[in-house]
């Protein structure tokens, strides 16, 4: 079972008003956070890409 299938099943339980331990765990996970403003986001993405390139270079 994939994560998407499990989440879909839990969504169906939630829509039907059912309660389960797994549904409680899923509902306790915090939502996504907002992205930072554009200039900071661009700088962060550039730094992350450079880091991933340097790590990948060592793998080959």
Query: Containing domain of residue 25, as a range?
Result: 3-59
Judge whether 23 and 13 are in contact, CB under 8 Å: yes
pLDDT over 70 percentage in the chain = 98
Q: What is the pLDDT of residue 39?
A: 95
Six token digits for residue 40? 């900071």
- Element at 10 (helix H, strand E): helix 3-16
**What are the tens digits of pLDDT across the range 34-52?**
989 999 999 999 999 999 9
User: Domain total for the chain?
Assistant: 1
Six token digits for residue 42? 């661009």
């Amino acid at each position: 079972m994939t994560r998407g299938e499990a989440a879909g099943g839990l969504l169906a339980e939630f829509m039907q008003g059912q309660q389960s331990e797994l549904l409680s765990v899923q509902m306790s996970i915090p939502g996504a956070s907002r992205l930072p403003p554009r200039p900071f986001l661009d700088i962060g993405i550039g730094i992350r890409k450079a880091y991933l390139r340097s790590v990948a270079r060592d793998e080959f």
